[in-house]
């Protein structure tokens, strides 16, 4: 991924965020273009809608990825990052987790859940523990499905909406935040 745009800047969110979202990688039509994770493409549009379901606003959150550059297949389409790419970016993710001390870390998808587990071990799996908070590294870890359109094949959109509503309630409870809805 050498030469690709690294999506990490103040546009990811404030260092005082209430929740830190970790996704898989910037999308080639989204974060790689805008420099802001989970924006512009279908996943970004869905994420914006899910944030609204949670009663959260971008100014309250920090969004990053397991890898900071867009991994592409030979035909130019997005692909999941390889284990080597995740290992190569682990230091960046670890440093973000160290600096952004959000009391809630929400992983978006199995790749992100595994990536944070390589930094601070946990016993969670996405399918078995979706939406279930667990104490992790001095904060709460909440595994959620990635907001990609394909996620509806594994978990209904209605269930994903409810997962985000529950996440919002948890964040408000932990951080004593008012709802913006």
pLDDT, position 177? 65
Whether residue 4 is contained in a domain is answered as no
Q: At what angle do helices 42-54 and 157-175 cross, to 10 degrees?
A: 50
Whether residue 63 is contained in a domain is answered as yes
Residues 130, 135: Cα–Cα separation, whole Å: 14
Here the CATH number for the domain that contains residue 149 is: 3.40.470.10
What residues make up the domain containing 61?
10-175
Query: Rounded to two decimals, what is the model's pTM?
Result: 0.93
Whether residue 121 is contained in a domain is answered as yes
Tell me which residue of 169, 26, 171, 173 sits closest to 9, measured CA to CA.
26
Whether residue 5 is contained in a domain is answered as no
Residue 178 has pLDDT above 70, yes or no: no
CA angle 141–144–148, rounded 5-degree value: 145
User: Tens of pLDDT along 51-104?
Assistant: 999 999 999 999 999 999 888 899 988 899 999 999 999 999 999 999 999 999
User: Tens of pLDDT along 125-159?
Assistant: 999 999 999 999 999 999 999 999 888 899 999 99
Whether residue 181 is contained in a domain is answered as no
What is the domain count for the chain?
1
């Amino acid at each position: 991924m050498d030469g690709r745009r690294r999506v990490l800047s103040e546009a990811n969110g404030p260092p005082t965020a209430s929740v830190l979202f970790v996704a898989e990688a910037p999308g080639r039509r989204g974060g790689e273009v805008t420099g802001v994770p989970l924006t512009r493409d279908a996943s970004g549009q869905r994420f914006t809608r899910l944030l609204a379901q949670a009663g959260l606003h971008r100014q309250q959150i920090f969004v990053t990825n397991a890898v900071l550059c867009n991994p592409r297949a030979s035909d130019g389409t997005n692909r999941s990052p390889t284990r080597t790419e995740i290992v190569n970016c682990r230091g960046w993710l670890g440093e973000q987790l160290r600096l952004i001390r959000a009391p809630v870390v929400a992983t978006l998808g199995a790749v992100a859940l595994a990536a944070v587990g390589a930094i601070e071990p946990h016993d969670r799996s996405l399918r078995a523990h979706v939406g279930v908070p667990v104490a992790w590294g001095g904060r709460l870890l909440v595994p959620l499905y990635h907001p990609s359109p394909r996620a509806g094949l594994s978990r209904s959109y209605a269930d994903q909406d409810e997962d985000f509503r529950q996440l919002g309630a948890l964040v408000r409870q932990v951080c004593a935040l008012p709802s913006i809805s």
